[in-house]
Amino acid sequence: MTSFRELRRFALLASVTLPMAIAANGVLAQDKPKEHADTPAAAYEPSMTTLGQINVEIPGRKPGDPVITPSEFQAANKVYFERCAGCHGVLRKGATGKPLTPDLTRELGFEHLRDYINYGSPGGMPNWGTSGQMTDEQVDAMARYLLIEPPAPPEFGMAEMRETWKVLVAPEDRPTKKMNDIDIDNLFSVTLRDSGQVALIDGESYEIHNIIETGYAVHISRISASGRYLYVIGRDALINMIDLWMDPPQTVAQIKVGAEARSVETSKMKGWEDKYAVAGAYWPPHYVIMDGDTLEPKKIVSTRGMVYDTQEYHPEPRVAAILASHYRPEFIVNVKETGKILLVDYSDIKNLKVTEIEAERFLHDGGFDSTKRYFLTAANARGKVAVIDTKEGSLTAILETEGETPHPGRGANLVHPDFGPVWATSHLGDETVALIGTDPEGHPDSAWKVVQQLYALGGGSLFVKSHPKSGHLYVDAPLNPDAEISASVAVFKINELGQEEPEYTVLPIGEWAGIAEGQPRVVQGEFNQDGDEIWFSVWNGRDQESAIVVVDDKTLELRHVIKDPRLITPTGKFNVFNTRQDIY
């Protein structure tokens, strides 16, 4: 391991020296740099859903519409839903990415759109053309496609949902006791995103217990309150409910809750354990409450409605993160585009009560503070974090993170030597890490403020991680364009955070993995149950070797490398105990 700040300096320089040009309309357009690095942001956060398989009619022609054949339109529509909708929205209304409706795209013009798609931008737009991920013909067709009114995919209601619902093993036919010798609490559910699978890996022996077929591009894994059931949701909105008591663990129920989705969670309040599951969809924009034992859909609730600040109607408010309250029988539901956080009372779903909290637009990920009372969530396109008191059911604070595009995942909780308990988020757009005070009783002057800003390797961070038994804070940077940075992790010593600008240690995780080909990127640290080791995914191309690297938390030395031909593009990892208990 090495400690070097020149990597951060290089990343900062790289982010500001790309040549720029000003288009006639005043919009920034990128020039043609010789070495515009390919960002994998779209590879990590694409739509990649069944939306891309849906044939839709070309919307009614209007004067000035570009010439586009039906086959070109369908091909462009597929590319948009698979690669662009995750950021720009199914209806092109914008979210993390800018709106791409014809009133805006026609002002930019065909050539600007074509060049933007081809060369990308320093702000995170992938260089689809120059990276080779789109041909010249595809880039040309996409520019024309964006000048036409966006088509709307079909709706997906209860009838369509129930057609997809399958109970593969009925509850009465499942084991009445654990049938395997797996230490379930120290089991890891590992996303194999490009193979449409999850790997169940033993936290002690590092052996793969089972590979389970799931939805495409799995987004997250969540655990039932009892610890028995694993719920996995893919970006194609397919949920797999896996019984961890079976030998081997296997899927016992499935359902598709839409055409595109991101989130699933289960009821955790005492007395309601395993009673319900809930999932949120990107398309159609709704959330679904299901039976916790069978995934039978019980109630679908649309999130279409008015944006909290402008009071204008939005047709596509997508559901992002969902968490289960530990204080009330409620699900906490982030509605991205309208900027609302919903507290959904599941104690009586026939007479559903929902508390609607006005927060900030473009809500994304988030997690609890160390007491599990406060929910901190990023409105990443607005650079803010909203704080919800789940015990009182109200908004506590909204604050600026002082960085560009916060992306906390679930965040990280640690005890700062000066400010007490804090919650951390890193940023996609720069190298900063914000530490936010979370102790209104013990440290009232620091509560709900950025008490310290750390400087890690560079922009492109997706996740931070710590653990109550750890003395470290880990920060990844998988979306950084520099290969050395994206394959490394910055580690801060918590007891040194009181310094003016704390130093960090760099762990060369990619180098430790010993992968000779490709550009492996290191993503998403996850601790084992005991908190004495942390696992990192070394995420490579689909047809290239990937790995999981296990690091000793005390010494910051390599402990083990997990390699297996079945580990295809591993990304997220979810330890059963830590995920169930919301420990991060």
Q: Residue with structure tokens 């936010």?
A: 436
Catalytic member of 209, 219, 314, 364: 364
Catalytic member of 48, 87, 134, 290: 87
Catalytic member of 219, 407, 443, 467: 407
Which tokens sit at 551? Answer: 């690091």
Phi, psi of 12 (to 5 degrees): -65, -45
314: annotated active-site residue: no
β-strand partners of 465 = 474
Determine the Cα–Cα distance for residues 289 and 537; give it in Å rounded to an integer. 32
DSSP string, 486-507: HT-EEEEEGGGTTSSS---EEE
Residue 171 is classified by DSSP as G
CA 290 to chain centre: 22
Q: Is the dihedral of CA 380, 381, 385, 386 positive or negative?
A: negative
Residue 99 is classified by DSSP as P
326: annotated active-site residue: no
Closest CA to 526 of 409, 406, 423, 364: 409
407: annotated active-site residue: yes
Other C-beta atoms closer than 10 Å to the C-beta of 271 total 8
Which tokens sit at 261? Answer: 């989705």
Catalytic member of 84, 134, 246, 269: 84
Identity of the residue numbered 147: L
Q: CA of 162: how far to CAs of 15, 159, 165, 257, 402, in Å?
A: 48, 5, 5, 9, 45
87: annotated active-site residue: yes
Q: Is the dihedral of CA 512, 517, 523, 529 positive or negative?
A: negative
Q: CA of 219: how far to CAs of 192, 234, 410, in Å?
A: 10, 5, 13
CA 565 to chain centre: 25
Which tokens sit at 515? Answer: 């992968």
Apex CA 59: angle with CA 55 and CA 62, to 5°? 150
**CB of 416 closer than 8 Å to CB of 451:** yes
Determine the Cα–Cα distance for residues 86 and 97; give it in Å rounded to an integer. 9
Assess whether the previous peptide bond of 284 is cis (omega < 30° from 0): yes
443: annotated active-site residue: no
Residue 439 — left, alpha, or beta (φ > 0 → left; ψ -120 to 50 → alpha)? beta
Residue 577's SS3 state is helix
Q: CA of 397: how far to CAs of 389, 434, 436, 503, in Å?
A: 9, 16, 11, 30
Catalytic member of 48, 125, 269, 290: 125
Closest CA to 73 of 54, 96, 87: 54
112: annotated active-site residue: no
Assess whether the previous peptide bond of 248 is cis (omega < 30° from 0): yes
CA 347 to chain centre: 28
Annotated active-site positions, please? 84, 87-88, 125, 364, 407
